[in-house]
């Protein structure tokens, strides 16, 4: 696969945001007060998770679906390892001779002790939602002939985040939450994540234009194999970027 100047950094950024948003803060329920809307609760980890979709949009738009697919699998593998490591660290017997362990062990169980049901729901919803996001963006790029970037970034995010939210919460909390709570949380999370994408659209435009100029490419996924299970990264037609 051709070596690009910034591709590896974008993959690293996407994986970092994904890991941090899933490990730092997801157990914390924060509160916010907005004019007219009043007070509402939200998961603290949701503030940064939408940025992983922005990374996915940029990767697909500049480098194509096949290279974005590799990044998604990298994030999926990193989440699996992080989940296993969190379980192992909690399961290892704490030394009774170390006084600090008395407070550390319960704190680790609260911060990292997600049930395997929630872990599975998070992994599956991320995998499915990110692939939907990348696929929709690639298809819309062909449909719009590379014009109207905002329709692709926002449209793909709407589809991907809808799948992510609709899959994750029922898998993780069905039977524990009431139907009304489930619907409210799904709608609130979906709305917030799409709003982040809309808000950062100018930033996405700037980054995409910079990368296309720097790499000298603009990728269209004509003839690309859209199977999520391939790891090939050399598919898609690459045109020279001229502005």
Q: Where are the domains of the chain?
A: 7-224
HSE, CB side, 13 Å, CA atoms: give it for residue 213.
Answer: 7
pLDDT band at 243 (very low <50, low <70, confident <90, very high): low
The answer to whether the beta carbons of residues 188 and 37 sit under 8 Å apart is no
The answer to whether the beta carbons of residues 176 and 220 sit under 8 Å apart is no
Query: How many Å apart are CA 157 and CA 151, to the nearest integer?
Result: 10
| Residue 100, φ and ψ in degrees, nearest 5 | -65, -25
**CATH architecture group of domain 7-224:** Orthogonal Bundle (1.10)
* pLDDT 10s digits, 154-182: 999 999 999 999 999 899 888 888 888 88
Query: How many Å apart are CA 155 and CA 169, to the nearest integer?
Result: 22
Query: How many Å apart are CA 216 and CA 4, to the nearest integer?
Result: 10
pLDDT at 137: 98
Query: How many Å apart are CA 144 and CA 107, to the nearest integer?
Result: 50
pLDDT higher than 80, residue 32:
no
pLDDT at 141: 97
Residue 225: other Cβ atoms inside 10 A: 14
Which 3 state secondary structure label does DSSP give 229? coil
**Mean pLDDT in residue range 64-68:** 96
pLDDT higher than 70, residue 86:
yes
| Residue 218, φ and ψ in degrees, nearest 5 | -145, 115
Query: How many Å apart are CA 129 and CA 164, to the nearest integer?
Result: 5
* pLDDT 10s digits, 199-218: 999 999 999 999 999 999 99
Position with higher pLDDT, 22 vs 137: 137
Residue 5 DSSP code:
S
* pLDDT 10s digits, 179-204: 888 888 888 889 889 999 999 999 99
């Amino acid at each position: 696969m051709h070596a690009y100047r910034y591709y590896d950094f974008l993959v690293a950024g996407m994986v970092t945001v994904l890991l941090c948003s899933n490990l730092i803060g997801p157990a914390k329920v924060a509160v916010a007060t907005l004019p007219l809307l009043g007070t509402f609760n939200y998961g603290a980890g949701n503030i940064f998770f939408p940025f992983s979709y922005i990374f996915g949009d940029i990767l697909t738009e500049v480098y194509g679906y096949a290279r974005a697919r590799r990044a998604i699998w990298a994030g999926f593998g990193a989440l699996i390892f992080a989940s296993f490591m969190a379980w192992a660290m909690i399961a290892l017997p704490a030394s009774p001779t170390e006084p600090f362990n008395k407070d550390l062990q319960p704190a680790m169980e609260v911060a990292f002790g997600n049930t395997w049901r929630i872990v599975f729901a998070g992994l599956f919803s991320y995998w499915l939602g990110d692939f939907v996001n990348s696929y929709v963006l690639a298809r819309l790029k062909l449909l719009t002939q590379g014009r109207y970037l905002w329709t692709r970034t926002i449209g793909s995010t709407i589809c991907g985040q809808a799948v992510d939210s609709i899959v994750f919460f029922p898998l993780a909390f069905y039977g524990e939450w009431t139907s009304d709570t489930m619907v409210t949380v799904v709608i609130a999370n979906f709305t917030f994540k799409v709003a982040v994408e809309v808000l950062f659209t100018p930033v996405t435009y700037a980054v995409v234009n910079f990368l296309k100029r720097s790499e000298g490419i603009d990728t269209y996924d004509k003839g690309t194999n859209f199977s999520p299970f391939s790891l090939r990264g050399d598919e898609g037609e690459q045109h020279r970027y001229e502005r």
